[in-house]
Amino acid sequence: MSAEFPYVRPRRLRTTPAMRRMVAQTRLHPAELILPLFVREGIGEPVPISAMPGVVQHTRDTLRKAAVQAAEAGLGGLMLFGVPAVQDATGSEGTNPDGILQKAIRDVVSEVGDSIVVMSDLCLDEYTDHGHCGVLAADGSVDNDATLARYAEMAVVQADAGVHLVGPSGMMDGQIGVVRRALDQAGHLDTGILAYTAKYASAFFGPFREAVGSSLQGDRKSYQQDPANAREALRELALDVAEGADLVMVKPAMAYLDILRQVADASPVPVSAYQVSGEYSMVEAAAANGWIDRERTILETLTSIRRAGAEQILTYWAVEAAAMLR
């Protein structure tokens, strides 16, 4: 048969697990995974997030334990989100040096030191009673420049608490430059910035709103990117890098692999992607119904994000995936 039909046979490189492993073009490593963690003020035990099976709002004590577990698993980083007891129009708890996120940063850094990169979300949506990522103008729109002043304050209190990287996620114009200047002027020259560069106004963020206790009414389409658009992601990339971003991010990940590939091809700094709450919850729901193989699907989704160009992946499966990879 082979003499009569001299096929090229790519299947020769798929014959055994050892062969497939040897020629694999994309590899996952625990150090590339970042675990998002939620810490809630005023609770005595972890609170399950109903829309995200297996994910909880931590107490300060359980957050410490989760951070140690993540470091021992060999993860690259943690992204911390605070859930305050009180929200107000300006998100004042976000800039309170003794606010829940700042306390959590100090707690985690005291536990894990420099053995894992500690990152913090720099946004107001968790702290405002209207749920938007900034302060509002008189007409109810988000005031870009007034919000930047709040972000500058947030960056400094988070850096004062000891965070290694801040993650400005509000998609305000000029946010990276303002945060960089604020950090430098406060003497935090070594505190880095992970810029949420291409953050889309996505339906996949739904379960996250429960996780952070968001009171948002309406949407964020006036500041987050339109899912229909690709080119502006590269414009945002150029601006963030020029303003001082140390790393950049595409969010969500799985529905935006084309954007991730374009950003990765163009970026002079490391590129991250966030596998968001809705992506997580879809897989968990399908697996719970027996429709898909859960572990295979987890690793396949992470591999696809890595293959598209992400050098770091924020995922709620980070610890579990690290164990699978070992």
- At 213 the pLDDT is 65
Token pair, residue 63, equals 């957050």
- At 207 the pLDDT is 81
Checking phi first, is residue 131 left (phi over 0); if not, alpha (psi -120 to 50) or beta? left
The whole-number average pLDDT for the span 53-65 is: 97
Q: Give Cβ neighbours of residue 289 (< 8 Å, ≥ 6 apart).
A: none
Please check whether residue 243 is in contact with residue 219, taking contact to mean a CB–CB distance below 8 angstroms. Answer: no
Catalytic residue among 65, 103, 221, 251: 251
The whole-number average pLDDT for the span 241-246 is: 98
The whole-number average pLDDT for the span 97-110 is: 97
- At 218 the pLDDT is 67
Convert the pLDDT of each residue in 274-324 to its tens digit.
999 999 999 999 999 999 999 999 999 999 999 999 999 999 999 999 999
DSSP 134-177: S-B-TTSSB-HHHHHHHHHHHHHHHHHTT-SEEEE-S--TTHHH
- At 94 the pLDDT is 94
Predicted TM-score (pTM) of this structure: 0.94
Q: Give Cβ neighbours of residue 173 (< 8 Å, ≥ 6 apart).
A: 144
Q: What sign has the CA pseudo-torsion 166, 171, 174, 178?
A: negative
Convert the pLDDT of each residue in 202-243 to its tens digit.
988 878 777 766 766 667 778 889 999 999 999 999 999 999
- At 134 the pLDDT is 85
Degrees, nearest 5: CA angle 73-272-319: 20
- At 215 the pLDDT is 67
221 tagged catalytic: no
Rg (CA), the chain: 20
For 2-6, 17-21, 64-68, 280-284, which range has the lowest pLDDT when averaged over its residues? 2-6
- Residue 136 φ/ψ, nearest 5 degrees: -100, 145
DSSP 37-105: EEEETT-SS-EE-TTSTT-EEEPHHHHHHHHHHHHHTT-SEEEEEEE-S--BTT-GGGG-TTSHHHHHH
Convert the pLDDT of each residue in 124-183 to its tens digit.
888 998 878 889 999 988 899 999 999 999 999 999 999 999 999 988 999 999 999 999
- At 222 the pLDDT is 80
- At 3 the pLDDT is 65
Please state, for a pLDDT cut of 70, what percent of the chain lies above it: 97
Please check whether residue 309 is in contact with residue 236, taking contact to mean a CB–CB distance below 8 angstroms. Answer: no
Catalytic residue among 65, 103, 199, 221: 199
The whole-number average pLDDT for the span 247-276 is: 97
Assess if CATH 3.20.20.70 describes domain 27-246. Answer: yes
Residue from 118, 221, 30, 239 nearest 248 by CA:
239
DSSP 165-177: EEEE-S--TTHHH
103 tagged catalytic: no
Asked whether the predicted pLDDT for residue 265 surpasses 90, the reply is: yes
Average model confidence (pLDDT) across the chain: 94
Asked whether the predicted pLDDT for residue 1 surpasses 60, the reply is: no
Please check whether residue 262 is in contact with residue 272, taking contact to mean a CB–CB distance below 8 angstroms. Answer: no
